[in-house]
Amino acid sequence: MTENFTGNFTQQEAIPDEGIAAALEVLKSGRLHRYNVAAGEDGETALLEQEFATQMGAKYCLAVASGGYALATALRALEVQPGDKVLTNAFTLAPVPGAIASVGAVPVFVGVTENLVIDLDDLAAKAHQADVLMLSHMRGHLCDMERLLEICDAQGLKVIEDCAHTMGARWNGVLSGRQGVMAAYSTQTYKHVNSGEGGLLISDDDALMARAIMLSGSYMLYERHLARPPVEAFEGVKYVTPNISGRMDHLRAAILRPQLRDLDTQCARWNDRYRVVEDGLRDTPGLTVVERPEAEFYVGSSIQFLLLDWSEDNVNEVIRRCLARGVELKWFGGAEPAGFTSRYDSWRYAPSEPMPASDRVLKGIVDMRLPLTFSLEDCALIARIIRAEVSAVWQGGFA
């Protein structure tokens, strides 16, 4: 009998009861704007920033409207100017080059390896072209951060970490986001905490965070932030930094605070699911499992595998056959962007040179979400389906 999966790849877990109760209190108060607080109150947003800064071991935190807004704010805080070049990954999602283009800067794409991380040799070759690297830890894959920082420090490159997929992850015990001058996180529905949309920006740098808070639209109310630099840090920037409003409101902050307190438990649950799928896919003919280095503590909220050097027709046949059995896969090798699978040559506002080695990898990447609504048994079933369909197409198309 043919097995089929009947779950939903976009169904997230419910918001915790504590978050729902806190959100209801905000709604009952009518005070949703982050600076609209009653006497003696700090407000949900300021408390969220304080708690996340402490959780990450950072001095400062700013809560904003989205992860993409956080990235663009980091670039503006670093005073990236129109026409400046900014290095970033060829394997990333559209909000990353979009943030660069939104400030008038020009993305310069750095290649991807078969481990799905930034190609550090290509980075070293291109490092002289820019002053900033926007490093995307795409789909939760962390590169050798020590070597990356050696390259960047030697060239004077400032690193902004895009941690949309690595909240809670670590490289050699160091939390993702703690090695760049700024780090941005997403709280969009499919990330590790869920407020629908939202973002968090952290830094230890007084001047950068003062600019970021002003950019977010603080209306000279920056003293109400609990996780902010000293008031003196705002003196040189408060009259010359434009208001580009993108604050987070109390409602989303109320939803997020209890989720962040449970982050470690949730990360462990994702990794349990990831390992079940990974084990089920290992040694499948024609399929390459992406091996994770020992130094990396990842968060497996999605999983990727490679169908290297497969024809477009054969990859599409695998995707079609898996979908017919209820398993939804995404492919980064299609000629046209689809959903979340665009790549560097899709973004026509960002000119690029062909990168044959990276193109080979990108054309082989198959991607799948692993929501926590899936049980371990679900994950084992999904792996069996993928394994069977990849094997069938491999035997039929490559024999």
Q: What is the pLDDT of residues 300-343, one digit of tens each?
A: 999 999 999 999 999 999 999 999 999 999 998 877 777 777 78
Domain annotation covers residue 11: no
> Do 280 and 381 share a domain, yes or no?
yes
Q: Does residue 6 sit within a domain?
A: no
Residue pair 331/365 in contact (Cβ under 8 Å)? The answer is yes
In a domain, 127, yes or no: yes
Q: Are 230 and 86 members of one domain? A: yes
Radius of gyration of the chain (CA): 22
Same domain, 326 and 236: no
Looking at the structure, tell me whether residues 291 and 238 fall in a common domain: no
Give me the pLDDT at residue 260, please.
Answer: 98
Intra-chain end-to-end CA distance of the chain, in Å = 25
How deeply is 299 buried, as exposed, middle or buried, from its count of CB atoms within 10 A (0-12, 13-18, 19+)?
Answer: buried
Q: What CATH number is given to the structural domain containing 351?
A: 3.90.1150.10
2 part of a folded domain: no
What is the residue range of 200's domain? 17-261
Give pTM, 2 decimals.
0.96
Order of all β-strands in the sheet with 158-162: 60-64, 199-203, 182-186, 158-162, 132-136, 85-89, 106-110
Domain boundary among 227, 244, 261: 261
**Do residues 62 and 153 both lie within one domain?**
yes
* CATH number reported for the structural domain that contains residue 183 in this entry: 3.40.640.10
Please tell me whether residues 199 and 303 are part of one structural domain: no
Q: Report how far residue 227's alpha carbon sits from residue 60's, in angstroms, rounded to the nearest whole number.
A: 5
| Contact call for residues 201 and 181 (beta carbons, < 8 A) | no
Query: How far is 188 from 240, CA to CA, in rounded Å?
Result: 31
Looking at 261, 283, 304, the residue that finishes a domain is 261
Cβ–Cβ < 8 Å for 74, 135: no
Secondary-structure percent of the chain, ordered helix, strand, coil, rounded to 5: 40, 15, 45
Report the distance separating Cα 358 and Cα 216, nearest Å. 36
Q: What is the pLDDT of residue 397?
A: 66
Q: What is the 3 state secondary structure string of 93-143? A: CCHHHHHHHHCCCEEEEECECCCCCECHHHHHHHHHHCCEEEEECHHHCCC
43 in a domain, yes or no? yes
Last residue of a domain, one of 233, 261, 289: 261
The amino acid at 277 = V
**pLDDT of the chain along its 399 residues, tens only?**
689 999 999 999 999 999 999 999 999 999 999 999 999 999 999 999 999 999 999 999 999 999 999 999 999 999 999 999 999 999 999 999 999 999 999 999 999 999 999 999 999 999 999 999 999 999 999 999 999 999 999 999 999 999 999 999 999 999 999 999 999 999 999 999 999 999 999 999 999 999 999 999 999 999 999 999 999 999 999 999 999 999 999 999 999 999 999 999 999 999 999 999 999 999 999 999 999 999 999 999 999 999 999 999 999 999 999 999 999 999 988 777 777 777 888 888 888 888 999 999 999 999 999 999 999 999 999 999 999 999 999 998 654
Identify whether residues 238 and 320 lie together within a single domain: no
Is the same domain home to 76 and 220? yes
| Domain count along the chain | 2
Is 253 a domain residue? Answer: yes
How would you classify the pairing of strands 296-297 and 170-171?
A: antiparallel
